[in-house]
Amino acid sequence: MYFVTISEMIGTQGNKIARGVAAALNYSYYGREALFKAADEMGILSDLLKFELKNPPLLEKFFSDKPKIYLDRFQAVVYEVAKRGNAVFFGKGSQLLLHSFDCALHVLVTGSMEKRKKKIMEEMNVDAEVAEKIITNSDQDKKGFLRYAFDEDWLNPQLYHLILNTDVLSVDSAVKIIVDAAKSEEIKSCGTDAVQRLGKFALQRKIESSLLEAGVMSLHLFFSVEDVDSVKIFGVASSREEKENIEKLLRRIKGIKNVTNDLRIGSDD
């Protein structure tokens, strides 16, 4: 099992390159539409439709759990589809979500402002001023999203194995470079242990989002994913009823078969 993640600066034809790589390698392609389809199959499409890949407004971050809930569910979708096998992911923070897997090749497609403006003007039929604003807004959104979601700079070169500049590279040339790199011996195949890790990562995000949505996530409640279908909860619950309700909540999450409830009942003193 192998993954390729391709991130782009808007106006560099990264989407065409990603689709070309997927076709050349015969890998599944996951961009916005494919991830939304997977979310629909998981029953959480409505949450993803509300989720924007940018830094949430300051007040919403501080006074609402919704951005974190949507983020957790979005990340669960990425991990779930990754379990299906060979895939190319286009953006969406996939370079961070899959960064710990040796079977993943991470690519950033870049270009100069002038060449990007020209491409946006051609593709969107806008003037230079509008094209530059589109580029600036896109760059700011990506920067804000990765800073919020991962506390990381999206242009950090250490996040990528390849950085390709389409000022001088054609789509076909970029595709060939990426395909050759993906087939290199240095990119190791992921085994069954990787599938298990992906499953545990996905389950962790589902649990966290469910606890947040129910309003029971607190500084005194903890959980650990013991296996792809097993979770342990521990810490302190305010009452026996809350302890039982938290366990019921977890058992309703798709994929969980075993819940070890080690919560103790706290004292009001």
138-196 pLDDT, tens digit each: 999 889 888 888 889 999 999 999 999 999 999 999 999 999 999 888 777 777 788 88
pLDDT for the residue numbered 214: 83
Q: What single-letter DSSP state applies at residue 190?
A: P
Q: Residues 194-206: what's their mean pLDDT?
A: 89
pLDDT for the residue numbered 60: 44
**Residue 127 located in a structural domain:** yes
- Give 50 or 247, the one with higher predicted confidence: 247
Please tell me whether residues 121 and 239 are part of one structural domain: no
Please tell me whether residues 79 and 170 are part of one structural domain: yes
Residues 6 or more apart from 37 whose CB is under 8 A from it? none
Please tell me whether residues 145 and 28 are part of one structural domain: yes
Average model confidence (pLDDT) for the chain? 87
Please tell me whether residues 148 and 256 are part of one structural domain: no
The number of distinct structural domains making up the chain is 2
Q: Residues 82-97: what's their mean pLDDT?
A: 90
Range of the domain at 255: 216-265
Please tell me whether residues 249 and 150 are part of one structural domain: no
Please tell me whether residues 223 and 121 are part of one structural domain: no
pLDDT-based confidence at residue 62 (cuts at 50, 70, 90): very low
230-258 pLDDT, tens digit each: 999 999 988 899 899 999 999 988 889 99
For residue 5, the SS3 value is strand
pLDDT for the residue numbered 64: 45
Among 182, 204, 235, give the residue marking a domain's end.
182
Give CA–CA dist 31/248, Å, rounded.
Answer: 34
> Under a CB-based contact definition with an 8 Å cutoff, are residues 207 and 228 in contact?
no
Please tell me whether residues 170 and 233 are part of one structural domain: no
Q: Structure pTM?
A: 0.84
